[in-house]
Structure 1
Amino acid sequence: MIRVMIVEDDPMVADLNKRYLEQVKGFTLMAMAASVDKAIEILDKLDIDLILLDLFMPGKQGLVLLSYLRENEKETDVIVISAASDMERIKKALRFGVVDYLIKPFEFERFNMALAAYKEQSKFIQTQPVISQEELDQQLLHREDKPQMEELPKGLTKDTLNQIWKAIQQLKGAPFSTEDVVQLVGISRVSVRKYLNFLKELGILDVKVIYGSVGRPVYQHEFNRFKEHLIKNFL
């Protein structure tokens, strides 16, 4: 398990990061700190693999903790989670060797992507004492050719899929029916159903059948945010 410490002074944000972390396998929360001084105190007592760090902190700023880690040669990685979006702070954080940088507010998908990439990279480093240039480029430096877009099934078009996808985003994660999408997009029910079935096959949508007292059953679609990234291969 990858041992994590959350360094965040806002209790609500710290709790959100904690709840997000609990949804990602392979990570365990070891400690939470509301200041840089408290984080340093914890680092002197516990072995921490990864810190989720806010830069705007009371007293000492998060950059001070990054400096402390480098000066003391701590084998602890850092993912910055901060509202700091100015290039100067971002450049400083990158120079200190942060493995990723998330700008608040962010979605769970981006959080999950950062942790999944870190876990994969950590596993690779632990199991590969010697690597080739190609492996170094792909696994650690992320210098690889841009993957080609996947082809849609016959009868589906990118433009219409994009309209359907935007309509789903407008529904803000609430369960929805085929008719809900029809009203937003303005195309036939049959066409909408084809695209929803395609998204279901990708795992992006989960479908539940609701049986009423009379009439036909209603198919309720629910958005699976853990699979949202798959749509990017088709848009």
Structure 2
Amino acid sequence: MINVLIVEDDPMVAELNKKYLSMISGFKLVGQVRNGEDALHFIHDNPVFLLLLDVYMPKLNGLELLQHIRISYPKIDIIMVTAACDSSSIQDALRLGVIDYMVKPFTFKRFRTALITYQERLRLLNLSEILDQKQLDNRIFSQVIAPANDLPKGVEQNTLQAVRKLIENYDTDFAMSDLVQLSTLSRISLKKYINYLEESGEIVSYLNYLSVGRPVRRYSAKK
């Protein structure tokens, strides 16, 4: 199990990171802090293997924290999850050895690829004490794409494909109630698959405000 610390001052982004992380097996969230100073205190007292780290934070920002970690905790790995997309911040982070860099906003698909790639590289490195150039080129430094059947808990590949087929029948936007009428899945189960497709960036949603009653969430396939 890979112990993960989320370092993020935006509560909404922190919750999203937490939610996405819970959908990938092999990772354990051990803490969530809002600035670099609190992160250093937490790391001092707890075993942490991976940081999901923002740049823009009070007290001690992400890049400053990264410098401290590289000196005092060199075995901790870092994935940047940040709105900082300027070349200077990216170059500084890469020079300090981050293993991936995700710019907000990001999809679950991109998040999952980053985590599974990291997980797979750890597994490969732990399998062998010595690697030759071919193994390094093909299995470490190449992009390891998460396999198609590596899905979140409760999402099954064949059912996911069936839901995709239902969506393909709609040339216009649709509501959850439209799909429920055509599917053998319960509304709760179907919502789980729709949420996954939206988080993966395959569909988008918006609230349709009616003249009376509650607004209805409608969906459309992303073009």
TM class, shorter-length? 0.5 to 0.7
Aligned equivalents of 1:59, 1:73: Cα separation in 2: 20
Q: Which residue of 2 aligns with 1:61?
A: 61
Aligned equivalents of 1:175, 1:13: Cα separation in 2: 31
Q: Deviations over 1:60-104 (max 9, x none)?
A: 110011101111143100000000000110000000000000000
Q: Which residue of 1 aligns with 2:210?
A: none
**Secondary structure of the equivalent of 1:180?**
coil
Aligned equivalents of 2:17, 2:127: Cα separation in 1: 29
Matched, 1:101 2:101: yes
1:1-235 equivalences in 2 (<5 Å) = 1-142=1-142, 176-177=166-167, 179-181=169-171, 208-209=183-184, 225=197
- How many residues end up aligned between the 2 structures? 170
For structure 1, which runs of at least 5 residues remain unmatched after alignment? 145-172, 185-206, 211-221, 230-235
* Counterpart residue identity of residue 28, structure 2: T
For structure 2, which runs of at least 5 residues remain unmatched after alignment? 145-162, 174-181, 186-192, 202-223
Aligned equivalents of 2:167, 2:92: Cα separation in 1: 48
Aligned equivalents of 1:115, 1:130: Cα separation in 2: 24
Supply the RMSD in Å over aligned alpha carbons: 3.2
Q: CA deviation at 1:175?
A: 9.5
Q: Which structure has the larger Rg?
A: 1
Q: CA deviation at 1:126?
A: 1.2
Aligned equivalents of 1:68, 1:139: Cα separation in 2: 30
* Counterpart residue identity of residue 96, structure 1: L
Q: For the Cα contact (< 8 Å) 2:49–2:76, is it kept in 1?
A: yes
Q: For the Cα contact (< 8 Å) 1:3–1:30, is it kept in 2?
A: yes
Q: For the Cα contact (< 8 Å) 1:7–1:53, is it kept in 2?
A: yes
Q: Please list every run of at least 4 consecutive aligned residues from structure 1 whose deviation after the TM superposition is greater than 3 angstroms.
A: 173-179, 222-226
Aligned equivalents of 2:76, 2:40: Cα separation in 1: 12
Q: Deviations over 1:11-33 (max 9, x none)?
A: 11101100000001100000111
**Secondary structure of the equivalent of 1:44?**
helix
Q: For the Cα contact (< 8 Å) 1:109–1:225, is it kept in 2?
A: no
What is the TM-score normalised by the length of structure 2?
Answer: 0.68
**Secondary structure of the equivalent of 1:55?**
coil
Q: CA deviation at 1:177?
A: 4.9
**Secondary structure of the equivalent of 2:4?**
strand
What is the TM-score normalised by the length of structure 1?
Answer: 0.65
Q: For the Cα contact (< 8 Å) 2:117–2:143, is it kept in 1?
A: no
* Counterpart residue identity of residue 52, structure 1: L
Aligned equivalents of 2:33, 2:130: Cα separation in 1: 36
Identity of aligned residues (%): 35
